[in-house]
Amino acid sequence: MTEIFKGSFTQQEPIPDEAISAALAVMRSGRLHRYNVAEGEPGEVALLEREFADAMGARYCLATASGGSAIATALRAAGVSPGDRVLTNAFTLAPVPGAIASLGAVPVYVGVTEGLVIDLDHLRDLAGQGDAQVLLLSHMRGHICDMDRLMQICDAAGIVVIEDCAHTMGASWNGTLSGRHGRAACYSTQTYKHLNSGEGGFLATDDPDLMARAVILSGSYMLYDRHLAAPAPEVFEKVKYVTPNVSGRMDNLRAAILRPQLRDLATQCARWNERYDTVETGLRGTPGLTVIERPEKERYVGSSIQFLLLDWSEGAIAEVLRRCAARGVELKWFGGAEPSGFTSRYDSWRYAPAERLPNSDRVLRAILDMRLPLTFSIEDCALLAGIIRAEVGAVWQGSRA
Ligand SMILES: *Cc1c(COP(=O)(O)O)cnc(C)c1O
Q: How far apart are CA 59 and CA 150, in angstroms?
A: 23
pLDDT value, residue 334: 87
Q: What is the mean pLDDT of residues 375-384?
A: 98
Does residue 240 carry a catalytic annotation?
A: no
CA of 196 to the centre of ligand 1 (A): 12
Please, where in the chain does CATH 3.90.1150.10 lie? Answer: 265-399
Q: Which fold has domain 17-263?
A: Aspartate Aminotransferase; domain 2 (3.40.640)
Q: How far apart are CA 24 and CA 14, in angstroms?
A: 15
Atom of ligand 1 nearest to the CA of 140: 13
- The residue whose CA is least distant from atom 15 of ligand 1 is 166
CA of 95 to the centre of ligand 1 (A): 6
Contact 164 CB / ligand 1 (< 6 Å): yes
- The residue whose CA is least distant from atom 7 of ligand 1 is 67
Strands 201-205 and 184-188: antiparallel
pLDDT tens digits for 308-348? 999 999 999 999 999 999 999 999 998 887 888 888 889 89
- What pLDDT band is residue 232 in, cutting at 50, 70 and 90? very high
Q: Is 312 helix (H, G, I), strand (E, B) or coil?
A: coil
- The residue whose CA is least distant from atom 5 of ligand 1 is 67
pTM of the model: 0.98
Q: Which residues on adjacent β-strands are paired with residue 190?
A: none
Average pLDDT over the chain reads: 97
pLDDT value, residue 344: 84
Contact 142 CB / ligand 1 (< 6 Å): no
* Alpha-helical runs (H) found in 201-303: 208-218, 233-237, 252-263, 265-283
- The residue whose CA is least distant from atom 14 of ligand 1 is 166
Contact 343 CB / ligand 1 (< 6 Å): no
pLDDT tens digits for 19-35? 999 999 999 999 999 99
pLDDT tens digits for 52-79? 999 999 999 999 999 999 999 999 999 9
Question: Looking at the predicted structure, is the pLDDT value of residue 85 above 80?
Answer: yes
The superfamily in CATH containing domain 265-399 is Aspartate Aminotransferase, domain 1 (3.90.1150.10)
Amino acid at 194: H
Question: Looking at the predicted structure, is the pLDDT value of residue 1 above 80?
Answer: no
Please, where in the chain does CATH 3.40.640.10 lie? Answer: 17-263
Q: What is the mean pLDDT of residues 44-56?
A: 98
Contact 100 CB / ligand 1 (< 6 Å): no
Which of 193, 240, 297, 332 is labelled catalytic?
193
Q: How far apart are CA 98 and CA 205, in angstroms?
A: 22
Instruction: Kindly compute the dihedral angle of the four CA atoms of residues 236, 238, 243, 246, in this order, to the nearest 10 degrees.
Output: -10
pLDDT value, residue 391: 98
State the CB neighbour count (10 A cutoff) for residue 390. Answer: 17
Atom of ligand 1 nearest to the CA of 141: 13
Contact 190 CB / ligand 1 (< 6 Å): yes
Contact 138 CB / ligand 1 (< 6 Å): yes
Contact 268 CB / ligand 1 (< 6 Å): no
Q: What is the mean pLDDT of residues 381-400?
A: 95
pLDDT value, residue 401: 66
Q: What percent of the chain has pLDDT over 70?
A: 100
Atom of ligand 1 nearest to the CA of 193: 1
Of the residues 137, 138, 164, 349, which should be mutated to test ligand 1's pocket, given the most ligand atoms within 8 Å of the CB? 164
